[in-house]
Amino acid sequence: MATRLTFSLLMATLALLWLSCGRAAARQRSEAQRHLKRLNKPPVKTITSPDGDIIDCVHVSHQPAFDHPFLKNHTVQVRPAFYPERTANKVESHKNSLSIAQLWHRNGRCPENTVPIRRTKRDDLLRASSVKRYGRKKHKSIPMPLTVDSDLPNESGHQHAIAYVEGDRYYGAKATINVWQPKIQQTNEFSLSQLWILGGSFGEDLNSIEAGWQVSPDLYGDNHTRLFTYWTSDAYQATGCYNLLCAGFIQISNEIAMGASIFPLSDYGGSQYDISILVWKDPQEGHWWIQFGNDYVLGYWPSFLFSHLTDSAAMIQWGGEVVNSELEGAHTSTAMGSGHFPEEGFGKASYFRNIQIVDGSNNLRTPKEVGTFTEQSSCYDVQNGNNDDWGHYIYYGGPGRNTGCP
């Protein structure tokens, strides 16, 4: 009798657990569907990219930015009031670099008054730790002052090889970066190359604007090299996101889709393809603008999104970052940049060339006293230099795990 009663109680408990799990799964599906509806606005036109991406051409006034309560009555600024001025001694070299585009362009273009948005799929959401965290970096507690001794987010599991400037007020930055497809060991790891516009401390109040290229299987579901942006005003806690995956960044370009694949890619010992990225603060309106290449002004981050970046930035960084998950205690073999060390030089190592900052007079100029930093130079390294052709430049990157980096 007691055995039958115990069995009945066990079966009833299992039934309740099954019902509870079913309800939780249903809630998750419902939440995911609502979030997809918020992100994927009704398109004017749809383009299927050769890599499987779906690019929706969405009317400029219907993009996700305008879900932000402070942007309900915002008038889109169709162009910046001011561009940074090029100083007389500015060097801009196009030697040995070739043109680059986005893969979806092969199958069509978005019409005027629309913006191209990579469609988010249900599987994209389900790869995230939660629907709310989709499109956001993991929260990093960074209690570090802005000093040379603690010069960047040094959170566990992330490694960098960067150049940086600090000690002044900065109103933008520019660089040209060659583009690769680094190997990713684990799907929860990524490899990126970007510039950072930073304000505040490396604590809970960090403001950051980031742009460059990345390979992130967790975010995109593949290993394609993609153009990306990111922003946060609270050290990656509750604000900000990649690309257009939350309300904030206002896109104006109908030519470039953030989060979409870029091509061609550089070949080791062969052709080198690079992209130019410029981020600057409009001195009249106060918004932070981004330009891709020489022709595409992509859009802007409204100034109200930030606290410390409302006026200027305190630090600029250029370089690479990877996630090192240290599977079974071994360093990851996820590559940074080309996957080769800086000393291999042009055609083999990754570079940032024509590194510049925007000063208080809205002039683009070569920075002074550029520092470099890497946590483990035997895994990923960085070297800087200067010449007449490239101005200030760095070579950076590495293979991750190797005999010197076990």
Which residues are known catalytic residues? 210, 321
Residues 6+ apart with CB under 8 A from 362: 82, 84, 85, 171, 280, 283
Cα 110 from Cα 29, distance rounded (Å) = 31
Say if residues 299 and 251 touch (Cβ distance below 8 Å).
yes
Query: For residue 318, how many C-alpha atoms fall within 13 Å in the half-sphere facing its CB?
Result: 32
Say if residues 104 and 254 touch (Cβ distance below 8 Å).
no
Handedness of CA 305, 132, 114, 85 (dihedral sign): positive
Question: Exposed, middle or buried by CB within 10 Å (0-12, 13-18, 19+), for 178?
Answer: buried
* DSSP 8-state class, residue 15: H
Q: Is 85 helix (H, G, I), strand (E, B) or coil?
A: strand
Which tokens in the block code for residue 70?
């402070």
Q: Phi, psi (5° rounding) for residue 58?
A: -105, 140
Q: Which residue in the block uniquely carries the two structure tokens 């960098």? A: 160
Q: Which residue in the block uniquely carries the two structure tokens 């660089």? A: 175
